[in-house]
A and B are shown apart, each in its own frame.
Chain A
Amino acid sequence: MWPDDPWYDVPAPGRCAPDGVAAAAPDSRTGRREEQGHSAADVYLEVQRSAAFREVRRRYRRFVVPAVAAFLLWYLAYVVAATTAHGLMARPVAGVMNVAMLAGLGQFLTTFLLTWAYVRHARLHRDRAALDLRWDTQEMTRGAER
C-alpha cells in the first residue's frame, strides 16, 4: 500500500457494493471536454456547475437535511418533555417501564437506526458518483496546473 494514494481504502468486511450501483451513478464524464489553460479555480467552478456534481450534492442534502431536522427535533422534544412534562413521562406502560424509559431507550435506538440508514444511503447512492467526480476533478486540476 502506498501511503499517499488517496484511493487506498479498506473495504468493509462482508459489505460489497451491489452491482446495480454503477448504473445509478450519473454520467460524470461530461466535464472532460474541458479546454487546457484554465486555472484550478475555474475547474472547481465548472465541476460545481456540472450536472453530475449537482446530483451528488442533491442526494446528500435530500438525505441529510430532513434527517438532521428530524433527530434534532426529536431530541429537543425529549429534553423539553423530560424537564417539563413529568406527568406524561411518568405514565406506566408495562411493568416498571414508563414513557420516560421508553423514550430514553428510543433515543438510543433511533440514533443507531439513523446511523445505519445514513451509511447505507451514502454507500448506495453517493459514494460511487463522488469517487468518479473525484477522479475527473483531480485530472482536470492537474491539467490546469500544467
Chain B
Amino acid sequence: MSGGHQTLALLLFSAFVVVTLAITTWVSRKRRGSAEEFYAGGRLFSPMENGFAIAGDYMSAASFLGISGLIALYGYDGMLYSVGFLVAWLVVLLLVAELVRNCGRFTLADVVAARMAERPVRTALGVSSVTVSVLYLVAQMVGAGSLVALLLGGTGDTARSWTVVGVGALMVIYVSLGGMRATTWIQIVKAVLLMAGAVALTVLVLVHFHGNVNTLLSSAAERSGQGGDFLSPGLLYGGSWTARLDFISLGLALVLGTAGLPHILSRFYTVPTARAARRSVVWSIGLIGGFYLMTIVLGFGAAALVGSADVRASNASGNTAVPLLATVLGGGEGSTGGTVLFAVVAAIAFATILAVVAGITLASSASVAHDLYASWRRPGTERRGEVGVARAAAVGIGVVAIALGLLAQDLNVAFLVGLAFAVAASANLPALLYSLFWRGFTTRGAVWAVYGGLIPAVLLVILSPVVSGSPASLLPGADFQLFPLENPGLVSVPAGFLAGWIGTVTSPEPPDEAKHAETEVRALTGAGAV
C-alpha cells in the first residue's frame, strides 16, 4: 500500500493526542487536588456525558476490529461475542449501578468494606481489582503494538516497541495530571469518534446493498466460501466438546464479568445520584447496543465486499477486516476515498486504545491508593497524601504495563481479555452481590469469596492450553496442561460464589446486623450518599 494513508492516519492520530493533552492541561489547571476530584471528577457529570464515557471505557479496539473480524471470518459465531458483551449490561443496570453509587465513595471495595472488618476486605478486593486491571491493560498495550504493525505496515519491531512505550507514557500523563475529569472527557471524545466512524461505515455498507439486509447476508455467505453455514453457528465453536464448553465458559465470564470491572464501577461515582447512575447506564446500553449491531453489519459487510479469504490473508485473526472494508467502501486501494477512510479507521482504533488504557490505569491507581495503601499505611498518618499516592501509582502501573507489554508483544494474548472478565466475575462480583443482598454475609465470607474466585481463575489459566501443552501456547516447549478449557469462568465463577458461602457459614463471628441495615437502607434510598 502507498504511504498516503500512513501519513494521514498519523496526522489524525496526532490531532487526537493534541486535543486530549489540551483537555488534560485545561482540566488540571483548575484542579483542587482533592480525592473527590481525582477519583470521581467532582461527581457532577451529567447522565448523558457519563453514558458516553462508560461506552468509551467499554468499547475497546478489540470490539471494533476484533469482533467484526471474527464475523468476517466465521460468520455467526463472531456475533456471539457481541450478544454477551451487551447482555452483561443488564446485570450492571438491575443489580449494581444504583446500589454501588449509593453506598460507595470511590472504589468497589468501599461498598463491601462498609459492612466488614475493613483491612482484610479492602486488601483482598484491592488485589483482585489490580489483577483484573493489569490483565486488561497488558492485552490493550500489546494490541496497540500489533495495530501499528497491521495498519501502518511498519512491521519493524522498533515501531511496535515505541508504540507501546508511547501509549503507556500518554496514559500516565492523562491519568496522573488530569485524574477522573480528564479521563472522562477523553472517553467522551473517543466514544463520539468511534460511534461516528462506525455509523459512517455502516451507512456506506447499507447504501452499497441498497438497504437490503437479505442481499448483504446472502452475498456474505456466498463470498465467505461457506454458503449457508456462514449464517448459523458452528464454524468457530462447533468442533470438539472442549471448544463448545470453552465458549459457554467465556459467555458466562462476559455476562457476569462486566459488573465486576473496576474501571466500569468507578464511573458511577462521577454522577451526583443513583438516578443519574441509572440514566447513564441507559445511555450506555443504547450506545453499546447500537455499536454492536453495527459491528455485525460491518463484519458481514467485510465478508461480502472484501471476502473472507482476503481478510484471512491479511491477518489470520481478522483484525484488519474493518480497515480493508473501509478501503473498499472508499473506492478501492489507491483511490483517494479509500486512503482517507482507511486512515480514519486506523486513527479511531488508536484513539480507542488510548482512551481505554487511560480508564483502566485510573481505576487501578485508585485501587492501589484507596484500597491497598489506605488500609496498610501506619495509623495516624494523614489521609491527605492519598491522591499523591494515586498519581505515583498511575506512574508505577504505567511502567509495569509498558514492561509487560514489551515482553508479551510477540505472544498471542487474545485470551487476556477473557481472563480479565473471568477474574472480575469470579472474585469481584460474588463479594459485591453478597454484600448488597445477603443479610448474613461476614468478613470471612467476603475474603474467601474474593480469593476463592481469584486463585482458581489464575491457577486454571496457568494449567490451561493457553500457557502450555499446545503449539499455540505461551510456552510451546513445556507441557503441564491439566485443565482443558482456555477460559476458567465455568469453574471459577461458581467457585467464587461457593467460597463466599462456605466462608460465611463457617464464620465464627455473627454478621453485623446494624451495618447490614445501614448498607441496605443506603443502597436502596440513597440516604447519606456522598
B247 close to A (CB within 8 Å): yes
The answer to whether A86 and B233 have CB atoms under 8 Å apart is yes
What CA separation (Å) do A95 and B216 show in the bound complex?
Answer: 12
Q: A96-B221, A108-B293 are in contact. Are A137 and B86 (CB under 8 A)?
A: no
The answer to whether B248 and A95 have CB atoms under 8 Å apart is no
A124 close to B (CB within 8 Å): no
B65 close to A (CB within 8 Å): no
The answer to whether A10 and B276 have CB atoms under 8 Å apart is yes
Contact of A111 among B86, B95, B279, B513 (CB under 8 A): B86
Determine the chain A residues whose CB is within 8 A of the CB of B526 once the complex forms: 6, 130-131, 134
The answer to whether B232 and A100 have CB atoms under 8 Å apart is yes
The interface size bin for chain B is: 35 or more
The answer to whether B525 and A45 have CB atoms under 8 Å apart is no
Contact of B47 among A8, A10, A44, A96 (CB under 8 A): A10
The answer to whether A6 and B232 have CB atoms under 8 Å apart is no
Determine the chain B residues whose CB is within 8 A of the CB of A131 once the complex forms: 525-526
B80 close to A (CB within 8 Å): yes
Q: Which residue of B lies closest to A10 (CB)?
A: B46
B228 close to A (CB within 8 Å): yes
Determine the chain A residues whose CB is within 8 A of the CB of B285 once the complex forms: 111-112, 115
B528 close to A (CB within 8 Å): yes
What CA separation (Å) do A80 and B514 show in the bound complex?
Answer: 43
Q: Count how many chain A residues have C-beta atoms less than 8 Å from C-beta atoms of the other chain.
A: 59
Determine the chain A residues whose CB is within 8 A of the CB of B16 once the complex forms: none
B470 close to A (CB within 8 Å): no
The answer to whether B214 and A127 have CB atoms under 8 Å apart is no
Interface centre among B247, B289, B517 (most CB of A within 10 A): B517
A residues near B, CB below 8 A?
A: 1, 3, 6, 8-10, 12, 40-42, 44-45, 47-48, 53, 56-57, 60, 64, 67-68, 71-72, 75-76, 78-80, 82-84, 86, 89-90, 95-101, 104, 107-108, 111-112, 114-115, 118-119, 122, 127, 130-131, 133-134, 137-138, 141
* Supplied contacts A75-B84, A108-B86, 19 more A-B pairs, CB within 8 Å: A9-B272, A9-B275, A47-B521, A72-B255, A83-B244, A90-B229, A90-B233, A96-B214, A96-B217, A97-B214, A99-B232, A100-B76, A101-B217, A104-B80, A107-B86, A107-B87, A108-B83, A111-B90, A112-B286
**What are 20 A-to-B residue pairs whose CB atoms are below 8 Å?**
A3-B42, A12-B279, A44-B521, A47-B525, A53-B524, A56-B524, A75-B251, A78-B83, A79-B247, A79-B251, A83-B238, A86-B238, A89-B232, A89-B233, A90-B234, A95-B214, A96-B231, A101-B232, A104-B83, A118-B94
